[in-house]
């Protein structure tokens, strides 16, 4: 997907790429909803900050489209995974957004170092 987003970004603006990707996703979801007649959507009840996940999705698609042609799809994905791993570790450690607290411990260091070493090799 990242490679195709990058190719699309050569022909469209980043905003247009993001609109295109999310527009197709919205159409597919609407078709799915129509095919499952009678089942209602429940779009309320979650804390307000949870709905910002849509903004994060737009940022992810837009940034990966921007980066794919500049540094390649593999490096774009590697940096994305490493960043998401670091952010997830912080969320777990501090129990942000109401998730259960899972404290950082030294047993988690080797896999993180392995991922960072792979990222360093890709950058090299």
Q: Domain ranges for the chain, please list them.
A: 1-71, 72-124
pLDDT of residue 96: 93
Higher confidence at residue 8 or residue 43? Answer: 8
pLDDT of residue 27: 93
pLDDT of residue 37: 75
**pLDDT digit string, tens, across residues 7-20:** 888 898 888 888 88
pLDDT of residue 95: 95
Percent of the chain whose pLDDT exceeds 70: 99
Distance CA 121, CA 41 (A): 46
Count Cβ neighbours within 10 Å for each residue of 8-23 and write b for 16 or more, e otherwise.
bbeeeebeebbeebee
Whether the per-residue pLDDT at 70 is higher than 90: the answer is: no
Distance CA 26, CA 39 (A): 17
pLDDT of residue 92: 95
């Amino acid at each position: 997907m990242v490679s195709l987003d990058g190719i699309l970004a050569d022909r469209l603006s980043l905003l247009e790429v993001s609109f295109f990707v999310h527009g197709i996703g919205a159409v597919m979801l609407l078709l799915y909803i129509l095919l499952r007649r009678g089942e209602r959507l429940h779009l309320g009840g979650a804390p307000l900050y949870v709905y910002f996940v849509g903004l994060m999705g737009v940022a992810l698609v837009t940034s990966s489209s921007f980066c794919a042609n500049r540094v390649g799809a593999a490096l774009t994905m590697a940096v994305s995974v490493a960043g998401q791993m670091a952010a997830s570790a912080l969320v777990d450690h501090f129990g942000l957004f109401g998730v259960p607290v899972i404290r950082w411990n030294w047993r988690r260091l080797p896999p993180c170092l392995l991922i960072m070493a792979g990222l360093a090799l890709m950058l090299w």
